């Protein structure tokens, strides 16, 4: 596990964008696993800037997003498809046909989940999976559970997630109660994982996920088992990890950029 400590959100966004752009430069037709939420917005902005300067080319890049709300169409401004279009895809030279988000409007959600699993397989798996983290340690929409869900599935959102995400909706009652999400196995099969976290309200989730026991009650804790995990977090998000970070800096298998 490599941990990079960012000064602030701007620094975090730049570091994350650097890692993503390195992937695009090294493998122009790479498969990027993408995430939504507030955390990656700054990194997407930075990627757009570098694209505009002529430093990045997305023409061959393929993408798969982690999740989508059930019942929202792609043109609903709260949907994750809309988020991806407006924050990234509309501003770079990516072929929209190569961008994938689960279909929240699918009548048969089970079939849609199977289609999404097949799609990830047919793309040859994910080269780099970008992840944010929920306050309860969720990744994608893999909520705390008794067991890790493996592949794409439908999930009932927890109250904590509904509340946290209601800030993005005009009316909090509009937050969908269900979502489709890639499962833990699909995430863990990505060749490289980049986890980003910003702000004090993520400190507990980050502490438990990086240094606590690996448990489905903290879904992101499974990332400790990934052999190519990079974490970029700001000081606030790492504020509960002080001692563990110092210890980790001297441990095999860790690189901490203190």
CB of 22 to ligand GLP, least distance (A): 22
CB 168 within 8 A of CB 177: no
Q: Is 37 in the site for ligand GLP (CB under 6 A)?
A: yes
Return the range that interacts with ligand GLP (CB under 6 A); candidates 18-26, 119-127, 130-138, 169-177. 130-138
Helix (H, G, I), strand (E, B) or coil at 40: coil
CB 150 within 8 A of CB 140: no
Q: Spot the catalytic one: 87, 117, 136, 165.
A: 136
- Count CA within 13 A, CB hemisphere, residue 151: 13
CB of 161 to ligand GLP, least distance (A): 5
**Which of 43, 100, 141, 189 is close enough to bind ligand GLP by CB under 6 A?**
141
What whole-number distance in Å separates Cα of residue 31 and Cα of residue 124? 8
Nearer of residues 169 and 254 to ligand GLP, judged by Cβ: 169
Return the range that interacts with ligand GLP (CB under 6 A); candidates 4-12, 14-22, 29-37, 223-231. 29-37
Q: Spot the catalytic one: 138, 153, 207, 226.
A: 138
**Which of 132, 183, 212, 219 is close enough to bind ligand GLP by CB under 6 A?**
132
CB of 191 to ligand GLP, least distance (A): 19
Count of residues of this chain found to bind ligand GLP when the rule CB under 6 A is applied:
14
What whole-number distance in Å separates Cα of residue 182 and Cα of residue 233? 23
Q: Is 142 in the site for ligand GLP (CB under 6 A)?
A: no
- Count CA within 13 A, CB hemisphere, residue 242: 3
CB of 28 to ligand GLP, least distance (A): 26
For residue 127, indicate whether it is catalytic.
no
Touching ligand GLP, residues 198-257 (CB under 6 A)? none
CB 133 within 8 A of CB 205: yes
DSSP per-residue string spanning 84-126: HHHHTGGGS---GGGEE---TT-SSHHHHHHHHHHHHHHTTS-
Touching ligand GLP, residues 50-69 (CB under 6 A)? 66-67
Nearer of residues 57 and 239 to ligand GLP, judged by Cβ: 239
- Count CA within 13 A, CB hemisphere, residue 249: 10
For residue 143, indicate whether it is catalytic.
yes
For residue 207, indicate whether it is catalytic.
no
For residue 75, indicate whether it is catalytic.
no
> Which segments of the chain are extended strands (E)?
2-6, 31-34, 62-65, 67-69, 99-100, 128-131, 153-156, 178-181, 192-197, 229-234, 255-257
**Which of 13, 23, 36, 99 is close enough to bind ligand GLP by CB under 6 A?**
36
- Under 8 Å CB-to-CB from 39, ≥6 apart: which residues? 132, 133, 196, 197, 198
Binding site for ligand GLP (CB under 6 A): 35-39, 66-67, 132-134, 140-141, 161, 165
Q: Which residues are identified as catalytic?
A: 67, 136, 138, 143
């Amino acid at each position: 596990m490599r941990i990079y400590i960012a000064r602030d959100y701007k620094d975090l966004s730049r570091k994350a964008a650097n890692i993503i752009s390195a992937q695009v430069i090294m493998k122009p037709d790479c498969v990027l696993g993408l995430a939504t939420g507030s955390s990656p917005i700054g990194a997407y902005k930075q990627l757009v800037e570098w694209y505009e300067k002529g430093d990045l080319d997305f023409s061959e890049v393929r993408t798969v997003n982690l999740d989508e709300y059930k019942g929202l169409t792609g043109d609903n401004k709260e949907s994750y498809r809309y988020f991806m279009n407006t924050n990234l895809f509309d501003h770079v030279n990516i072929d929209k046909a190569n961008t994938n988000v689960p279909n929240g409007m699918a009548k048969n959600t089970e079939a849609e989940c199977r289609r999404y699993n097949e799609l990830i397989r047919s793309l040859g798996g994910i080269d780099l999976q970008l992840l944010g983290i929920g306050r309860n340690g969720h990744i994608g929409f893999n909520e705390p559970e008794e067991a890790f869900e493996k592949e794409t599935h439908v999930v009932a959102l927890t109250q904590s997630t509904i509340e946290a995400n209601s800030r993005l909706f005009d009316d909090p009652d509009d937050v969908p109660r269900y979502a489709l999400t890639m499962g833990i196995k699909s995430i863990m099969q990505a060749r490289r994982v980049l986890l980003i976290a910003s702000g004090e309200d993520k400190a507990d989730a980050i502490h438990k996920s990086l240094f606590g026991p690996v448990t489905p009650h903290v879904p992101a804790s499974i990332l400790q088992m990934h052999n190519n995990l990079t974490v970029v977090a700001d000081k606030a998000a790492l504020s509960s990890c002080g001692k563990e970070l110092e210890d980790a800096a001297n441990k095999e298998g860790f690189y901490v950029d203190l």
